[in-house]
Amino acid sequence: MARARSPNRDKALKIWLKRSGNITNREIAEMLGEKEKTISNWKSRDKWNVVLQTGECSTTKTEPKGGAPEGNKNAVGNRGGAPPRKNANAVTHGFFRKYFPEETMEIMEQISERSPLDLLWDQITIQYTAIVRAQRIMFVRDQEDETRVLKKDSSSDNFFEQEWEYQHAWDKQATFLQAQSRAMSTLRSLIKQYEEMIRVGQGDEEQRLRIHKLKGEIALLEQKATKDHDKPIEIRIKRARMRPDD
């Protein structure tokens, strides 16, 4: 047996239309006592953005209204309730809706709820996470930590050829240091932008303290890195052997 349609589903749409789309899913969820994910699902399935632009709701049946007589030109130039030209709402929802899939639009709508400072903090967090993760991936055990990779393997009736690439410990360590240096430079640039936004009053005390804490963690991470920035050496060995006669 199909589940009965929730009355809040239509209420949620009415609230969203009343605010011309300028209300978050979370706010609607709190007003109706629903989960934010539920509101998001309703918004996607009922195509709220389309309803906002066209005024036509696929879930609500309306009686057809009498139109102007055929040939009547009183409404020439009137777009029938569409948003005014240069309306920001129409640009945001109409243009992107035309080219972007529904999933992308949902992500964009969630991003629009975040402040520029929060978006910058997200970038800082992602960059710092990548740096920390690289410590394990690019870890060099000791001087004997050697990596050998088969680059080429070919053969014929009379011979076979193999090409190997060797990376010694100092090669891998130097490569890691160079990569980390570039990543740290990017991170410091993002942090500088963040601190400047805090300085001009775009953040609060909590946001200021979290960047201060992160800078302390970065300082500890940099202390563990050496200052050896030698260019990595790549060694390739080609070896060809003749096959024994049958």
Q: Each residue of 185-227: pLDDT tens digit?
A: 999 999 999 999 988 888 888 888 989 999 998 888 877 764 4
- Give the rounded percent of residues in the chain with a pLDDT score beyond 90: 18
What pLDDT shows up at residue 85?
46
Query: Using one digit for the tens of pLDDT, what is the confidence trace for 80-107?
Result: 444 454 444 544 556 777 788 888 888 8
| In contact, 36 and 66? CB cutoff 8 Å | no
Sketch the domain layout of the chain as residue ranges: 8-57+85-113, 117-242
Cα–Cα distance for residue pair 167/235, rounded to 1 Å: 7
Burial classification of residue 210, based on how many CB atoms lie within 10 Å of its CB (0-12 exposed, 13-18 middle, 19 or more buried): middle
- Residues shown for the chain: 246
* 210 φ/ψ angles, rounded to the nearest 5 degrees: -70, -35
The secondary structure element, H or E, covering residue 238 is strand 235-242
| In contact, 177 and 229? CB cutoff 8 Å | yes
Identify the residue with better confidence: 65 or 128: 128
Cα–Cα distance for residue pair 145/218, rounded to 1 Å: 27
As separate numbers, helices (DSSP H) first and strands (DSSP E) second, the chain gives 10, 3
If pLDDT is split at 50, 70 and 90, which confidence band does 16 have? confident
Residue closest to 45 by CA, chosen among 99, 102, 88: 102
Averaged pLDDT, 107-135: 88
Structure tokens at 145: 């930590």
Helix 205-223 vs helix 116-137: angle between axes, to the nearest 10 degrees?
20
Averaged pLDDT, 165-173: 83
What pLDDT shows up at residue 73?
52
pLDDT of 242 higher than 70: no
Residue closest to 121 by CA, chosen among 185, 223, 212, 25: 212
How many C-beta atoms surround the C-beta of residue 119 within 10 A? 11
How many C-beta atoms surround the C-beta of residue 211 within 10 A? 18
At 151, is the secondary structure helix, strand, or coil? strand
Averaged pLDDT, 26-46: 87
Give the least confident one: 7-16, 17-26, 45-54, 219-228.
219-228
pLDDT of 241 higher than 80: no
Rounded to the nearest angstrom, the gap between the alpha carbon of residue 20 and the centroid of all alpha carbons in its chain is: 26
The three-point CA angle 90-75-63 to 5° equals 80
Cα–Cα distance for residue pair 183/87, rounded to 1 Å: 41
Query: CA 48, 54, 58, 63 torsion: positive or negative?
Result: positive
Give the least confident one: 35-39, 82-86, 133-137.
82-86
Q: Which of 37-41, 51-55, 91-95, 179-183 has the highest mean pLDDT?
A: 179-183
